Amino acid sequence: MAILAVNAGSSSLKFSLHPLQGGQVQPHVLSGNIQGLEPGGAPAMGWTYLGKRHQEALAVPAGTAPFVAALDSLRALVQKLEAAPDIEAVAHRVVHGGGVFTESVLVTEEVLERLACFNSLAPLHQPHNLEGIRRFQAAFPQLPQIACFDTAFHATMPEVDYAFALPKALQEEGVRRYGFHGLSYQYIMGMLLEHTLRGRGRVVMAHLGNGASLCAALAGSSVATTMGFSALDGLMMGTRSGSLDAGVLLYLMEQGWTHAQMEKLLYKQSGLLGVSGISADMRTLRASDSPDAERAILQFTHRVIRESGALMACLGGLDVLAFSGGIGENDAVLREQVCNRLAWTGLRIDEERNRNADGKAAYAIHAPDSRVEIWVIPTDEGRVAAREAAQLLQTLKAGGQATPSLAPASVA
């Protein structure tokens, strides 16, 4: 038996297959990504199985949606595996669960309708996550579809952190800080608890990639994070602005900007791409000699340092700093610059260990005399989603409840 973990985007589908042994979820034996699923695209599937990388273009029969053809190819791929496992459930990463879904749930039509209420809070992700679930329901009607939420890990945040300074009526409607990247933080925290006793202390985790955020955890639970009501808040990102004075939006409205124009600006034209005018990819900017590329990198790094300090203040100090995400796992220069600027905490990075971190396994990069431990933790959101699905299936088999009682639809 195995759990298939998936993350559906607007034009791509990430997947990983996790065997179950003795009821425990194992590391994936198959992982990959299908690109080019937009209308008129040229779908291609790349996957890794038993350490070997494969790539192939996917044929799309006339009259067939690219996503449907992709699922047919994925099913055929799994069936061709040596000792192909039976898929017990599909675990879906869903970005936003609002204030309702604080743990994984079995998907029903009522659940999908409620989750659609959060589309405007995560327009780059939520609608595509839900469309992916519907596609899998049609392609694998016999399998339970389980939604696993990026917001759930932050359900432990205290009100003083999640509440905005707005009238109470708006908070009761659900206008509050939720936080994201929860599946990643859940994995990072689990790995820290396995590798160091300090993981139970004051921890700042940095998920740095095209989407970027920080999370402060105490005794293994989230107490503060940089992302808020939507996935726009906090750090500067690949194409997203991060924290922005609301007065800027009022100014743009006065200049005649429409909702659609502002949404495109904030989600797709800002961040590293907007500042550099070159790329949202940190690797491309590192290779560039453009002053604007350097400015974008410096600004990104500064935001990480600044927000790290704020989270440390919330924690009353720091025991562990952990880097993850595409940038956090692979950009040794950024890690060194951030750590050097945070040296006032007693944190000391080991430059050689930092250079040797390859992003393949949990790896300590702090110097022997550092008062704060520093770790690079390659994240695995798929494995967390698979674990969540397996636990929910066990609950269902024991006669437990699969979904929460749902009140009338709102963002609350």
Binding-site residues for Mg(2+), please?
Answer: 7, 381
**131: burial class by Cβ within 10 Å (0-12, 13-18, 19+)?**
middle
Q: How many other CB atoms are found less than 10 A from the CB of residue 196?
A: 18
Binding-site residues, please?
Answer: 7, 14, 93, 207-211, 281-283, 326-330, 381
Which ranges of 269-406 does DSSP label H, i.e. alpha helix? 271-276, 282-287, 291-315, 325-330, 332-341, 351-356, 381-397
- Per-residue DSSP letter, 114: H
Active site residue 289: no
Q: Would you say 202 and 317 are in contact if contact means Cβ atoms under 8 Å apart?
A: yes
* Among 192, 193, 168, residue whose Cα is nearest residue 375: 192
Q: Would you say 407 and 169 are in contact if contact means Cβ atoms under 8 Å apart?
A: no
CA 161 to chain CA mean position, Å: 20
Q: Helix or strand or coil: residue 105?
A: strand
Given the residues 86, 150, 245, 350, select the one marked as catalytic.
150
Binding-site residues for substrate, please?
Answer: 93
* Strands lying side by side in the sheet with 221-225: 221-225, 212-218, 202-208, 320-324, 373-376, 363-364
Q: Would you say 406 and 100 are in contact if contact means Cβ atoms under 8 Å apart?
A: yes
Q: Would you say 235 and 299 are in contact if contact means Cβ atoms under 8 Å apart?
A: no
Cα distance between residue 293 and residue 84, in whole Å: 47
What residues are labeled active site?
150
